[in-house]
Amino acid sequence: MLKRLLAAPILLCAFRPLFLLAAVAAVLCMAAWLGFLLLGLPLPAVPGGPVVWHAHELLFGFTFAAIAGFVLTAVPEFVDGPAAPRPAVLALVLLWLGARLAWSASGAVGPWPAAVLNVAPVLVLIALVAPMLWRDPARRHLSILWALLAWLGGTVGFYAEALRGEPPLRSLHAAIGVVMVLVVIVMSRISMNVVNSALDTLGETTVSYLARPPRRHLAVACIVLFTLADVLVPGAPTAGWLALATAAALFNLLNDWHLGRVLLRRWVLMLYAVYVAMALGYALIGLALLAGVGSVSGGRHLLAIGALGLSIFVVMNIAGRIHTGRELDARRWIPVAAGVLLLAAVGRAGWSWWPADGALLLWLAGGGWLFAFGGFIAHYLPLYLQPRPDGGLGCEGVMDSD
Amino acid sequence: MAHAGVNTAALELAGVGHAYGARTVLSGIDLHLPAGRIHALVGPSGCGKTTLLHLVAGLLPLQDGTIRNGFARSACMFQQPRLLPWKSALDNIALGLKARGVPRAARHAQARDQARRFGLDDTALAQYPQQLSGGMQSRVALARALVLAPDLLLLDEAFSALDVGLKAELYRQLLAEQARRPMGVLMITHDLMEAVRLAHAVWVMAPAPGRIATGFRFDDAPAQRTDAQVYARTAGLLEDATVRASFGLDAPAPAAPLALAAVGGLRC
Amino acid sequence: MIGVVRTWLRGLPAYLWGGWGAIASLLLLLAGWEFASQWLDPLALPDPRTVLATLHGLLTDGNAWSELAITGRRALSGFALSLGIGSALGMLAGLSMTASMMARPWVTVLVGTPPIGWLVLAMLWFGASDGTPMFTVFVACFPPIFIGAMQGVRTLDGQLREMAQAFALPPLQRLFDLYLPHVLSYLFPAWITALGVSWKVVVMAELLATADGVGAALAVTRSQLDTAGSLAWIVAVVGALLAVEYLLLEPVKREVERWRTLA
């Protein structure tokens, strides 16, 4: 039985179960949240209340599954290491599923089981990739390890706060900061491939794309500083200036991308939009903290939907497809879904500007989110349940061959 | 043959000498370079070759003797490319034409023509010198000299810093240009083999004070010379006692002297 | 000429967008200021928002613009004078070994004399007129520009000069194709340094010598122990300097020195 499960296509590579579960979590969590906000349906009782349930599931459920799926697929490719063993991936998946149940039941059984089950898969993930990242001769991708350790800190911090009976919002904000750093780091790797192959497609030979480390380092440093200020002195104006600095540093990052019409290619444009959303999100947070314009929550949601949601959607569509032995999806639903996600981000951020239209904006935002990740499930479930069309037996991508 | 009778101009040096302060670097240089011929001045470092070339180019005032330059137009190529770093390759090639007052469009067209013969495409021409490889820079420098359609080309160690492949290519381009349009070429070099490969006459200079110690003629067309011929002639020159003394080498090798005449060389 | 303007305009969006890095680092500076202000007495260091609000007030009630214009006029005319005379004399001095040898000690004297000393002399010579700050700015800006121009000419590559001679470049072409591009690469940094000096010195001169301009306004805020007002004026002056440098001088410098950056 176990042997047959381990040999099933769904476990062919770590991203298959994890991306799928991420999308399922995205849809279920958002549907439940919309039901609660707009229809008054109940949510599982958890420490901290419904908002914390919502944020916890989207970060430690949805986002973590996507991160784990990506890291377990990409890191072996980056450092030329072996793919994660299937039993370990299965264990990680089961722990993650247990963590979902334990968290939603934590109102009844207390936060301890959820704490253990949510921290455990992070430890498994780090144990699987840390040796590879460390052994790489030039240690080029060590920043990924630091980000994963920071994520572990965020997870542990959340439960430390929850077990002390405090509202664990600070850990959730820290976790968003960690994901933003991870997105910047990971996209710098992915974009080198995506933008340059788009340049090749256009026949552009005079320019090439280079994600320049100094700009990235400035952006990452700003995000880290803001996140620290945000966690240590929430609401302070210092954090506001740091948020504005982060926005400027992210806009600065886009200098690398201004290479002409290649920016209008779909995958390039979507990655670009992630940075724009991230910069605008931090700008909104900064304005809210310094000038009281709009709300900090609006900015955070621009980060969470526009930057985090869109980047996960794009990365799952790239890494989650080429590693099944298929070319990138050229169909129209992808740019449509990405556009709808961006609209969702703007709509949700707009809630704090036009509270009168709150219900409409929430429906719009939630609907966009459900469309994108529901679409992902519909398009990818069949792929992930089938073996690779090229007869491959693992994670190898189609872009590797050329 | 290349030297058709139309161009009878020549470069004539008689008793040329030069001193930097009290130090005499050149004395009693006589030279006759007719159109269509390539003459090489070889010699060790410090024998005054460069000073002689600068005198011919008019970069130094003449102190002693006479220089009669019957050629209407002369151009120079130096050891370093000496391109203007703030001008594109195209503008660098057109520099001498601009100095002659050729209008912009015309000089660009000529420069582009010349560059194309040298394998420089429009992308390379639009770039600044430091964006180009060393080989490309040398090509630009040679094109800058040749686009002037000089009757007299002065080469100051022009090829000595280049790799063999690039040298061979620039030799080919120089000889092709010379076949198209006979010009007098005066080249100085410390590379005996380069002189033997390209020149109709090789003048060997000796130092302290710089003077012409001996000279050799090779009457065949440089473009036709084979590698084997060039090696044999170089070896032959190196057997010569005067040549060895000029370069400060030990006494002639004890082996039977190779007859230079047997491989096409004649003492002048 | 039109071509240069066109490439400049085409490069402008990319150049302006490139400013985000500088903006980010300035915002980090403001964050540090804000952080420090929370630990200090507001009389010693008010927080940046108070200062910016004060500045905003000064700008909206209209007084600040006229004071800034007066200060700007004095700084820029002193600077322009220095730019013209310093560049020309420096280049001339660079042409002759004797002249550069002789000029060196003079420049050392100019550099060594404290600006405040020049200011006192200028007050004696020009009184409370515009001449005092303008002269002080001129003297303070002169040495870096003069030295830059002189070194630019002196360091010109002898090999290139020889090449120009061998290719018989006429004098005008030699000036525009050989000397100026090289000398400009020394002059521009010197001009930018001098521009910064001019703004600093003009405010100091006004503080002590005139009844109007930013310096005089600073004297008023100081006497009223108005730290926020003082800082607002300082921010205004620094902002004006940043604008002139990054919107005017730096793009021109980039265009002129494009060949340097494309390596």
Is the four-CA dihedral C44, C50, C56, C62 of positive or negative sign? negative
In angstroms, the CA A373 to CA A52 distance is 21
Q: Which of helix, strand or coil describes residue B201?
A: strand
Q: What integer pLDDT is reported at residue B6 of this predicted model?
A: 52
Q: What is the value of pTM for the model shown? A: 0.79
Q: Which domain holds residue C80?
A: 45-255
Chains A and C form CB pairs within 8 A to the count of 60
CATH number for the domain including C92?
1.10.3720.10
Q: Which of helix, strand or coil describes residue A352?
A: coil
Per the CB < 8 A criterion, the answer to whether C107 and C147 are in contact is yes
Percent of chain B with pLDDT over 90: 1
Alpha-carbon distance B219 to nearest alpha carbon in chain C (angstroms): 30
Is the four-CA dihedral B66, B70, B72, B73 of positive or negative sign? negative
Alpha-carbon distance C255 to nearest alpha carbon in chain A (angstroms): 18
- For residue C7, being part of any structural domain is answered with no
The three-point CA angle C154-C156-C247 to 5° equals: 95
Chain C positions in Cβ-Cβ contact with residue B76 (cut-off 8 Å): 163, 166-167
Q: What integer pLDDT is reported at residue B4 of this predicted model?
A: 44
C12: tokens are 């402008």
Q: Is the peptide bond before B209 cis (omega within 30 degrees of 0)?
A: yes
Q: What integer pLDDT is reported at residue B261 of this predicted model?
A: 64
Residues B51 and B100 in one domain: no
pLDDT (average), residues A7-32: 92
Indicate which of C177, C182, C184, C257 best probes the interface with B, i.e. most B CBs within 10 Å of its own CB: C177
Residues B157 and B238 in one domain: yes
Q: Please tell me the CATH code under which domain A2-385 is placed.
A: 1.20.210.10
Q: What integer pLDDT is reported at residue A281 of this predicted model?
A: 95
Q: What integer pLDDT is reported at residue B237 of this predicted model?
A: 80
Alpha-carbon distance C4 to nearest alpha carbon in chain B (angstroms): 14
**Sheet strands side by side (includes B10-20):** B23-34, B10-20, B64-69
- For residue B14, being part of any structural domain is answered with no
Residues B178 and B142 in one domain: no
Domains identified in chain B, total number: 2
Higher per-residue confidence, C84 vs B235: C84
State pLDDT tens for residues B88-147. 889 899 888 888 888 888 889 988 888 888 888 888 888 888 888 888 888 898 889 888
pLDDT band at B7 (very low <50, low <70, confident <90, very high): low
Per the CB < 8 A criterion, the answer to whether A26 and A373 are in contact is yes
Asked if residue A155 has pLDDT above 90, the reply is yes
Residues B160 and B238 in one domain: yes
pLDDT band at A400 (very low <50, low <70, confident <90, very high): very low
Most confident of A254-263, B61-70, B161-170, C248-257: A254-263
Output the furthest CA–CA distance in chain A (Å, rounded): 63
Residue A248 to residue C21, Cβ atoms within 8 A: yes
pLDDT band at B259 (very low <50, low <70, confident <90, very high): low
Q: Which of helix, strand or coil describes residue B11?
A: strand
The three-point CA angle A110-A115-A119 to 5° equals: 170
State pLDDT tens for residues C110-146. 888 888 888 999 999 998 888 999 999 999 999 999 9
Asked if residue C179 has pLDDT above 90, the reply is no
Residues for chain A: how many in total? Answer: 402
Residues B45 and B118 in one domain: no
In angstroms, the CA B259 to CA C262 distance is 55
In angstroms, the CA B96 to CA B102 distance is 9
- For residue B213, being part of any structural domain is answered with yes
Residues B144 and B166 in one domain: no
In angstroms, the CA A33 to CA A13 distance is 31
Residues 179-218 of C with CB under 8 A from B: 181-182
Q: What integer pLDDT is reported at residue A230 of this predicted model?
A: 93
Q: What integer pLDDT is reported at residue C102 of this predicted model?
A: 87
**A278 touching C, CB under 8 A?**
no
Per the CB < 8 A criterion, the answer to whether A142 and A148 are in contact is no
Asked if residue B241 has pLDDT above 60, the reply is yes
CATH number for the domain including B181?
3.40.50.300
CB within 8 Å of B65: residues ≥ 6 apart: B13, B14, B15, B16, B17, B28, B29
Asked if residue B1 has pLDDT above 80, the reply is no
pLDDT band at C87 (very low <50, low <70, confident <90, very high): very high
Per the CB < 8 A criterion, the answer to whether B138 and B86 are in contact is no
A73 vs A33, A67, C45, C262, CA distance in Å?
31, 10, 52, 38
B259: tokens are 């007859």
State pLDDT tens for residues B41-96. 888 877 788 888 888 888 888 888 888 887 888 888 888 888 888 888 898 998 88
Backbone angles phi, psi at B261, to 5 degrees: -60, -30
Residue whose token pair is 């002759």: C96
Q: Which domain holds residue B225?
A: 32-60+69-73+151-251
Per the CB < 8 A criterion, the answer to whether B236 and B267 are in contact is no
Q: What integer pLDDT is reported at residue B263 of this predicted model?
A: 65
Asked if residue A402 has pLDDT above 60, the reply is no
Per the CB < 8 A criterion, the answer to whether B192 and B42 are in contact is yes
Indicate which of B53, B71, B84 best probes the interface with C, i.e. most C CBs within 10 Å of its own CB: B84
pLDDT band at A313 (very low <50, low <70, confident <90, very high): very high
Domains identified in chain C, total number: 1
Residues B99 and B168 in one domain: no
Residues B100 and B229 in one domain: no
Measured torsion, CA atoms of residues C42, C47, C52, C57, in degrees rounded to the nearest 10: -30
Residue C259 to residue B59, Cβ atoms within 8 A: no
Residues B119 and B203 in one domain: no
- For residue C206, being part of any structural domain is answered with yes
pLDDT band at B258 (very low <50, low <70, confident <90, very high): low
Asked if residue A197 has pLDDT above 80, the reply is yes
Backbone angles phi, psi at B37, to 5 degrees: -115, 155
Residues B131 and B49 in one domain: no
pLDDT band at C3 (very low <50, low <70, confident <90, very high): low
pLDDT band at B179 (very low <50, low <70, confident <90, very high): confident
Q: Which of helix, strand or coil describes residue C145?
A: helix
Asked if residue B163 has pLDDT above 50, the reply is yes
A300 vs A169, B198, C92, C119, C124, CA distance in Å?
12, 75, 62, 54, 62
Asked if residue A401 has pLDDT above 50, the reply is no
Higher per-residue confidence, B62 vs A398: B62
State pLDDT tens for residues A361-390. 888 889 999 999 999 999 999 999 888 888
pLDDT (average), residues A394-402: 61
B40: tokens are 């090489």
Residues B56 and B159 in one domain: yes
Q: Tell me which residue of A301, A315, A242 sits closest to A59, measured CA to CA.
A: A301
Residue of chain B whose alpha carbon sits nearest to that of C172: B99
Task: Write the burial class of residue A224 (CB in 10 Å: 0-12 exposed, 13-18 middle, 19+ buried).
Answer: middle
Asked if residue B5 has pLDDT above 50, the reply is no
DSSP string computed for A226-243: HHHHHHHSTT-HHHHHHH
- For residue B3, being part of any structural domain is answered with no
Residue C160 to residue B84, Cβ atoms within 8 A: yes
- For residue B241, being part of any structural domain is answered with yes
Task: Write the burial class of residue C172 (CB in 10 Å: 0-12 exposed, 13-18 middle, 19+ buried).
Answer: exposed
- For residue C196, being part of any structural domain is answered with yes
**A257 touching C, CB under 8 A?**
no
Output the average pLDDT for chain A: 90
Which residue, B149, B167, B196, sits at the end of a domain? B149
Chain A positions in Cβ-Cβ contact with residue C18 (cut-off 8 Å): 252, 255
Residue A255 to residue C31, Cβ atoms within 8 A: no
State pLDDT tens for residues C29-65. 999 999 999 888 888 899 999 999 999 998 888 778 8
Percent of chain A with pLDDT over 90: 58
Q: What integer pLDDT is reported at residue A181 of this predicted model?
A: 96
In angstroms, the CA C50 to CA C227 distance is 10
